Structure 1
Amino acid sequence: MTLPVNKRVDPVFFHNKRSQLADMTTASCLLSEDQFRCFVCQNVFTDPVSTPCGHNFCKNCVTETSHADVPFQCPICQRMFFPKPELQVNTLIAELLDMFRRSAQRQNREPVRGDFFCRTRSNAFKIFLFCLFLIVSSQVKYGPHLKEEAKGKKPESPEENKLSAVHLEQLFTEVMKKEIPRLLIRAELMKAQRYAVDVTLDPDTLHPKLVLSADRKQVRCCDPQKNLPHDLKRFLYYKYVLGEQSFSSGRFYFEVQVKGKTNWTLGVAKESVKRVGLIRLRPQFGYWSLTVRNGKEYSGLSEPPVHFSLQSRPEKVGVFVDYGEGLVFFYDVDAAALIYSFTGCFFTERLHPFFGTGHNNNGTNGEPLIITAVRLPE
């Protein structure tokens, strides 16, 4: 979340709030333990884990009663995942919680207005929390130039304009509940992007009617006059193509632009997948993929498939694979959001990036899939 350009932080705000901020330096705010409470047991996290949908719980709270043969359901958003994800301790949250506890033990905590602020020596954590404080501040009516004056009402006096600690805590808590999951997913995406690989499309696997760009970075449907030579590697009935590169260990990541398309499929496929006849895009047949139809109907092609919708349509999708851990993640790159994930996969042979353009649909799905260069975080 960034500070809107049309909502700058007015120096008057800080002048009027000096009495409230006098007890903390530029970024010495730290949340209370309430920010680290598990939704299920309402206790402070023990071995915190993050679900694929971005929510956090104690590990035992979401694993001790779950079974491998039934879908996993998030207790907060009710989203279903199958196969059941193998939840690992989220080291970032664990470190933040440990930092909070050590800071409280190491120093004499001096509560300020409801035990909301205390001191910490971690500069990075200070800056992080101060940025969130500014975000909250930007949402508060703190100057005479806002809506009340626009309606002809008398501007508030400095005393009336003071922000109570209770109000600040409520706003801060609301922002943190929304932003911490996003920040954690963004951090995971940035980490995944460091495993970016150069991917090109394999013309030998290209469906006969698909059109490949000269640099083998783009593919679109379709050229009805085109007739490629028969090849045992080629997809003959479905408009698919594999990447030339293959991977049998480690981690890899690539990004694909899907802007303007209403139908597409992305993922990875094992090298020996079936290319002719009826093809079922399921893990048991060697495909781990995400598909969209009619621009809004998303499906994670697990067994059974998981159907869902998104608030906004991704324009660029990132695909991350951890071969050894059996993970396949799909990200909305621009929103830094997790779209879908496969966990607990068992890979036994080389994997290729996998692409499906969908039908042209009279031009409504004529845009190409474009493999784009990954912009690494600075």
Structure 2
Amino acid sequence: MSSSSGPLNEELQCSICMHVLTDPVTTPCGHNFCGICLNQFWTNTHIYFCPFCKEKYSKRPAIKINTTLREVVLCDFCDERKQKAVKSCLTCQSSYCETHLEPHHRVPRLKKHTLINAVEKLENYLCQKHQRPLELFCRDDQTCVCLSCTEGDHRTHNTVPVEEESRKKKNQLVKTKKDMQQMIQKKMKKIQEIQHSVELRKRNTEEEKSASVELFTDLIRSIERCQSELLKMMEEQQEKAAEKQAEDLIKELQQEITELKRRNTELEQLSHTDDHLHLLQKFSSLCSCPHTKNWTEISIDSDVDVFSMKRALIQLKKTLDGSLNEKLRQSVDVTLDPDTANPYLILDFKQDVTENPKRLNNTCSGRFYYEVQVKGKTEWDLGVVRESINRKKTNTLTPVNGFWTVILRNENQYKACESPSVSFSLKVKPEIVGVFVDYEEGLVSFYDVESSSHIYSFTGQTFTEKLYPYFSPCRNEGGKNSNPLIISPVNKYISLKYET
């Protein structure tokens, strides 16, 4: 044996079972064992240390598969201490270390045998039909064949030695590898372009936001802050959409790059192999570039229609300056209509009212614009309602049925009664809620009056008949929800509550 075989022999032997390594694994300290042996050793001892050097671990360490040792081919003729095989004989169908290979260099009959670098599965290098070495490559059928094959099915085909075809394929691999590297660079560049687009969009959004804010300075405080909130929400949605699009594109590009890098690594390994047969067998599947998307025309749209936004805001300012401000400043006396007020809705005492078809059995109606104090309540309904609703049954609160409402349930569960309903949360529980209706614009908005912040808006609605305020203080719930609703149009107040 050569002098270098000693250390290798130790590497190939498991110090637990003292046999050649099976499914070799490596401990953090660098020693190798059979995977089964090491796992069983630690299971039995419940103390984690290296069986060879006794190094201790505070917890069971993660072991790694030793791919290098796993791929080592051993000599078929070593009896006790197996050595690494250096050559495999396709004629003998055996692998040999340097010592046992010596007769193949000396005996004339053995010199004629076909030797290749040591491989583990020799059957892959033999013709399954004739059991002879696959020494030739058929270019017509793109497959490896033996000499017997050229006398039969491949008799008229163009066949060359596998070494010759391997050299040719290696040259093609180098070109394919270069093409894939270029594809990787292009996709990396595309990622940078997408990231730059996102940053550019953020900067543009900040600039446009600063310019838009100036248009709100002349509006009344509650409307100004509400519109600012709406603008912020719109910008956040646009920005999130752009970031989500960029995120998805980057993820897809990274997946393609990962696949290209994996293919490139295989090409790199194959381009340096001396295993001609293996190269030819793997060439077809690796040489062709994987299918990827054409990213040339794909980009993130960074344009924002700021001019349309500004025109809309200017028109809103004119409308509010003309009529809305005047209406909001007018004092309005609030009284309950005896024909429509719910009999259990009281001011200072219960009302004795006669039956009337206009009366809402479960709700009450009032003026067009109002603010309501909801402090201390656990449930309430607020909004507007159209004139033609069915007043004698329990209605489902939806715009289809003529209701545009926001409700509170269980102290902190807020819902906008859309179809389907939209649940949302508020950082600060409002004490006074303002309800604002823009009939022409089809808008019903709700605000926290104290903080002048936006709560929710029904947008894009179509109103074709009269609208009235809609509100309900809900049931007393044994005193838990006994606080009244206090309606306060400008500076006139009226207290509303259900009798216990």
TM-score, structure 1 as length reference: 0.46
- The answer to which structure, 1 or 2, has the higher relative contact order (CA under 8 A, 6+ apart) is 1
Which structure shows the higher helix fraction? 2
TM-score for both structures, normalised by structure 2? 0.36
